[in-house]
Amino acid sequence: MGSSPTGLRDARSATLRRRSFLRAAGAGCATALAALARPVVAVAQDAPVTPAQAIQLDAELVRTGLYLIRGGGGNSLLRLSANGMLLVDGNLPGTYRALMSQVRRISKLSDMPVRVLVLTDHHPEHAGNSAQFAAAGITIVAQREALANLGLPESQDAAGRSRVIAYDDERTLRMGGVEVQLKHFGPARTSGDTVVYFPDMKIVALGDLFATDAPEPDFAAGGSLLGWGSVLARVLELDFDRVVPGRGPVVGREALVAFKDKLDAVVSRAGALVRAGVGEDALMSRLRTDDLGWQLDFTGTALNSFYGEFR
């Protein structure tokens, strides 16, 4: 952490809660968000809590006002603003206290609370602590399909303020002079992936849309290997130079280009085999990926879905 700000007072004043807000605008509309003192949504049952001291999380400065929190099963990205903080992804169940401990360390100087949690998809390494965030009065924002996969409906509090917000294709969040763009370009890892774009910093957070190993579409959740390359092509139209993955270190734009090239090669080869009459039972043994450094191992219903994408 070096000289990074550390700590956040656990006691958040009611005054801060009342005056802080976040505007979320998408497709030409704006939605006011307010932090609440009490939980107003029900998510899943809380998982057993692991002692915070037993979970090793590390934080590092990505760019001024943007911090990567790593460990515990996945990455979280914290964006500071003059009017509170936005967190991208909330890690696995049981890591909430350790994660918020890192948040408090980072935000000591500003003493601002987390206002919004953005989920890049519904999987536990991203959304596993949603119940705790909701109970803390933090607004949850995700693509509509991700919320459906999570079993979490849109909701409002008694005053009509949004607590769980779904978007379809894109939405812009503005908070304390900070702009964050959420974009959904189609099915890839799941049917509800969110690309989080920080235009002023030229950074994208991709969740599991980028990996250092082979891609693993969640076909049961509407994922698509065939559509994945098209999604990344849309991402590469954005102006950015750094990529924050769902796990692992920040990488450069060139790493995403290389990942897409490999993905395109797999799709091209698989499509050619299917068109040549190779059956589903022989596809994986005939599909060459060793030169790409990947080992694809689709079986059962996943294999059926993968094969079906080329029919």
> Above 70 in pLDDT, residue 99?
yes
Could you tell me the residue range of the domain that residue 77 belongs to?
Answer: 14-184
- CA-CA distance, 10 to 101, in Å (whole number)? 10
The stretch 153-162 carries a mean pLDDT of 80
Is 235 inside a domain boundary? no
Tell me, yes or no, whether 263 lies in a domain: no
**Is pLDDT above 60 for 240?**
yes
pLDDT at position 241: 98
In a domain, residue 203? The reply is: no
Q: What is the mean pLDDT of residues 81-96?
A: 96
More confidently predicted of 130 and 10: 130
Please tell me the distance from the alpha carbon of residue 66 to that of residue 68, in angstroms, as a whole number: 7
pLDDT in tens, 247-299: 999 999 999 999 999 999 999 999 999 999 999 999 999 999 999 999 999 99
Q: Are 178 and 210 in contact (CB under 8 A)?
A: no
The number of domains in the chain is: 1
Asked if residue 48 belongs to a domain, the reply is yes
Q: Is the pLDDT of residue 41 over 90?
A: no
Q: Which residues pair with 141 in a beta bridge?
A: 118, 165
Other Cβ atoms within 10 Å of 61 Cβ, number? 15
Burial pattern 193-226, b for ≥16 Cβ within 10 A else e, equals bbbbbbeebebbbbbbbbbeebbebbbebbbbbb
Average pLDDT, the chain: 85
Closest by Cα among 201, 195, 295 to 246: 195
Residue 250: half-sphere exposure toward Cβ, Cα within 13 Å: 19
Q: Which two tokens stand for residue 164?
A: 């769980």
The CATH number linked to 70 is: 3.60.15.10
pLDDT at 83: 93
Question: What 3-state class would DSSP assign to 84?
Answer: strand
Residue 207 resides in a domain: no
Asked whether the predicted pLDDT for residue 9 surpasses 50, the reply is: no
26: in domain: yes
How would residue 13 be classed by pLDDT, with cut points 50, 70 and 90?
Answer: very low
Contact status, residue 75 vs residue 248, Cβ threshold 8 Å: yes
Residue with the bigger pLDDT between 50 and 92: it is 92
- Please state which of the ranges 9-18, 61-70, 82-91, 167-176 shows the lowest mean pLDDT: 9-18
In a domain, 20, yes or no: yes
Domain-located, residue 84: yes
Judge whether 259 and 210 are in contact, CB under 8 Å: yes
- Which of these, 89, 208, 99, lies nearest to 142 by C-alpha position? 89
Q: What is the pTM of this model?
A: 0.83
Place of tokens 């008694």: 158
